[in-house]
Structures are given as C-alpha cells and as structure tokens.
C-alpha cells in the first residue's frame, strides 16, 4: 500500500563544532503524494540527508512535524524502507540471508522468507549469487542486494539517500533502470547529486537552497513512462535538465 509523506514547517538545527547553533534545514513544508517519485537535489550540506532521516523516523526535527499519511513520524515505521550510499551488508551472511534479514527480524519463517527472496532474485539479477558473501560481490551487486533488502519488506515508501553515488557511471545507469522496473508504485524520495539521474527517474525534482536548506524550485518531469536511457538525448529531457541546473546555480 503506497503512502503519502509530508513535512510541515520542519527545521533542523545542530550544535556547531565551535559552539553556538548551526541551522541545517528549513523551515520546510512539502508533500509527496502517494505513488510519486521525488528527487531532492541541491548543494552539499543543504539538509537533504537530514530530511531523509526525519522522514525515516531516525531523527526528530527541531521544530515542525513530518507525517506518514496523517500520522506524525516519531520513530521508524515498517511502511518506510530506507537505503543509503553504503550497502551496509553483513559480511557473514550470504546474499540470500542479507536480503531476508528484515523478514527474519519480523518473525517470518525461514521457508517463507527464503521463498520470498528467491522470487525477488531474478529481477535483481542475483539468481547466480544466492549463496555468495558480500566480499565476493562487486559494488553494483552489493547495492542490488541492499535494494533487495529494502524491497523485500514491500514498503509503501522508499527513502533513498545517494544510493548509487559510489558506483561507476555505467553501473549507476543500469541500477537506475532496475529501480524503475522493480519499484511497485511506492512513494519514493531520493537524494542525488546527478541531474541526469534525477530527470530519468523522477516525477518531481525539488531543488534545495544552500544551508539552511529550503525549497527554491519544484520542477515537474512530464516525460512518459517507461523511460529509457535514450530519452536523455531528447530535447524535452535536456530542457528539464537545464531548468534543474539553472535552479541549482541560483541556490
């Protein structure tokens, strides 16, 4: 079941290293309607990752409130899946057991969770690596495992914080395509510094200002789906990318 995510007058303020306070985010108000794929872009340090942590229930805002549908987000929720740039795989567990970990923690029987994982592996391109360990995987395959670990929970929303940032360009493109195919109408909020990736994936691209991060542009991506890498060479795709770049330059 897809969900709506929103933030109302959210701010985040940290203690500065030399004393005093460091405003990092907001005030920020936004809504991500159910089933929408939103990308967040903007200068480094402008609070994008902070917003992801707040929406994930890992961090309380200094002021304001984040919501899952109409419920305040006060702690991590099973309806929300979270993925970071680091795959964070457990090195002593196989691919199968890494993906199945959330189901194991939820009390699902071994037979049932293994069947669920095996059904997912072909779409992840990992069928031949079911018993491999993280140390035997490339960076791209490790991120596929991390993506599978999120998707196996069948969450209503995905929060992705630069999930492909450490990958080479070709692998990053392929996993972006995989994400589009694997996503099952979940609401998605994804942080990226790659404008091409944002235009390829998103329904909306939200541009943040410099710290403290505020929304300075909310750009619709009115490109037909399914999308292909070849779409990047169209005039429409390029126009949206230029619009995003211009907004970032003004941040």
In a domain? residue 220:
yes
Domain shared by 148 and 162, yes or no: no
Domain shared by 10 and 44, yes or no: yes
What span, in angstroms and rounded, lies between the C-alpha atoms of 13 and 194? 26
In a domain? residue 177:
yes
In a domain? residue 58:
yes
Domain shared by 185 and 239, yes or no: yes
- Taking only the tens of pLDDT, the chain with its 251 residues reads 789 999 999 999 998 888 888 899 989 999 999 999 999 999 988 999 999 999 999 999 999 999 999 999 999 998 999 998 888 899 999 999 999 999 999 899 999 999 999 999 988 889 999 999 999 998 888 988 999 999 998 899 999 998 887 788 888 888 888 888 878 789 999 999 999 999 999 999 999 999 999 999 999 999 998 888 899 999 999 999 999 999 999 87
Domain shared by 222 and 118, yes or no: no
Domain shared by 66 and 135, yes or no: no
44: phi then psi, degrees, rounded to nearest 5: -60, 140
Domain shared by 117 and 98, yes or no: yes
Domain shared by 148 and 169, yes or no: no
Q: How many domains does the chain contain in total?
A: 2
- DSSP per residue over the chain, as a string? ----EEEEEEEEEEE-TTSSEEEEEEEEEEEE-TT-EEEEE-STTSSHHHHHHHHHTSS--SEEEEEETTEE--S--TTEEEE-SS----TTS-HHHHHHHHHHHTT--HHHHHHHHHHHHHHHT-GGGTT--GGGS-HHHHHHHHHHHHHTT--SEEEEESTTTTS-HHHHHHHHHHHHHH--S-EEEEE-S-HHHHHHH-SEEEEE-SSSB-EEEEEE----SS--GGGGGSHHHHHHHHHHHHHHHT-
Domain shared by 232 and 110, yes or no: no
pTM equals 0.92
CATH number, domain with residue 48? 3.40.50.300
In a domain? residue 84:
no
Domain shared by 171 and 75, yes or no: yes
In a domain? residue 218:
yes
Looking at 133, 154, 175, the residue that finishes a domain is 154
In a domain? residue 55:
yes
Looking at 154, 170, 190, the residue that finishes a domain is 154
Looking at 154, 185, 201, the residue that finishes a domain is 154
Domain shared by 245 and 209, yes or no: yes
Domain shared by 216 and 109, yes or no: no
Range of the domain at 144: 89-154
| Residues in CB range of 125: below 8 A, 6 or more apart | 141, 144, 178
Domain shared by 72 and 190, yes or no: yes
């Amino acid at each position: 079941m897809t969900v709506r995510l929103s933030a109302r007058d959210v701010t985040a303020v940290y203690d500065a290293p030399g004393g005093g306070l460091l405003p990092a985010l907001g005030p920020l108000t936004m809504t991500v309607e159910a089933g929408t794929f939103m990308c967040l872009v903007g200068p480094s340090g402008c609070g994008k990752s902070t917003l992801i942590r707040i929406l994930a229930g890992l961090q309380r805002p200094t002021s304001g409130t984040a919501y899952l549908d109409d419920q305040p987000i006060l702690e991590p929720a099973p309806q929300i899946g979270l993925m970071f740039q680091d795959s964070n795989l457990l090195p002593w567990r196989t691919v199968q057991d890494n993906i199945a970990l959330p189901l194991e923690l939820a009390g699902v029987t071994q037979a049932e969770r293994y069947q669920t994982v095996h059904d997912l592996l072909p779409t992840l391109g990992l069928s031949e690596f079911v018993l491999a360990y993280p140390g035997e995987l490339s960076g791209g395959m490790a991120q596929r495992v991390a993506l599978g670990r999120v998707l196996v929970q069948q969450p209503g929303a995905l929060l992705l914080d630069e999930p492909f940032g450490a990958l080479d360009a070709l692998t990053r493109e392929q996993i972006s395509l995989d994400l589009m195919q694997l996503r099952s109408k979940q609401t998605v909020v994804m942080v990226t510094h790659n404008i091409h990736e944002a235009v390829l994936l998103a329904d909306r691209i939200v541009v943040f200002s410099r710290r403290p991060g505020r929304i300075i542009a909310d750009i619709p991506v009115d490109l037909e789906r399914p999308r292909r890498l070849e779409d990047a060479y169209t005039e429409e795709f390029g126009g949206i990318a230029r619009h995003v770049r211009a907004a970032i330059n003004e941040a």
